[in-house]
A = this chain, B = another copy of it.
Amino acid sequence: MYRVYGDIQSGNCYKVKLLMSHLDMAHEWIHCDILQGATRTPEFLAMNPNGKIPLLVLDDGRHLAESNAILNYLAAGTAYLPDDRWPWAKVLEWQFFEQYSHEPYIATARFIAKYLGLPEERRAEFDAKQAGGKKALAVMEAHLANNTYFVGDAMTVADITLYAYTHVAHEGGFPLDEYRSIRAWLARIANHPKHVTMDQPG
């Protein structure tokens, strides 16, 4: 059975939980409190020298880090990851977009506001995240104005990747009122019968 080290309130970790729910994958979830140093222990660093969650551990002890690499690994051979080279590359394109142009703004702003309580000494950094976050949301909104999902006509790991932090973007100071296509897409994801919310206990 898979083991997952994570914090369900972290979008990067929640992605893994959400895909595992869609795929009915049994797993053990081990909660990690990063603010208490759970990812800085020698035991954890031996599994992921980069000191980050989520981390997937296989039955034989092999481990895999990086949320979007984990999603690809778990979804391989399922409908959530296209077989054909072109749509599969487009899934990766959106996943790299998420890690470079979306997460560092929206997730980091949310971390500063929600986890740290928006301390005064990080207010300037929080404010500096707004432009990049809005740009990422504009790119998504334009795509979703003409598409039901990010790649093809059905949900893939590209949608799971981008859902994770977008559906809580307001917690980072990004209200979604003006993003109509994003809100319709969020509702499509949330209404799937296999959906689980971020409030699930691990």
Binding site for B on A (CB under 8 A): 49-50, 52, 62, 64-70, 72-73, 76-77, 85-86, 88-90, 92-93, 95-97, 99-101, 103-104, 135, 139, 142-143
Contacts and interface: CB of A to CB of B under 8 A. Distances in A.
A98 B6 CA distance: 21
- How many monomers of this protein are in the complex? 2
Contacts of A67: 96
B104 A66 contact: no
B50 A72 contact: no
Given A62-B86, A64-B89, A64-B93, A101 B50 contact: yes
A135 B39 CA distance: 15
B93 A65 contact: yes
Contacts of A49: 139, 142-143
Contact of A69 (B73, B77, B93, B104): B93
A128 B68 CA distance: 26
Given A49-B139, A50-B139, A72 B89 contact: yes
A142 B49 CA distance: 9
Contacts of A95: 69, 96
A52 B100 CA distance: 11
Given A73-B85, A85-B76, A50 B97 contact: yes
A65 B139 CA distance: 13
A92 B68 contact: yes
A135 B70 CA distance: 22
B62 A96 contact: no
13 contacts: A50-B97, A66-B92, A66-B96, A66-B97, A66-B100, A69-B93, A69-B96, A73-B85, A73-B89, A76-B85, A77-B85, A96-B99, A99-B100
Contacts of A64: 89-90, 93
A-B pairs, 8 with minimum CB distance = A73-B89, A66-B96, A69-B92, A69-B93, A66-B93, A76-B85, A49-B139, A99-B100
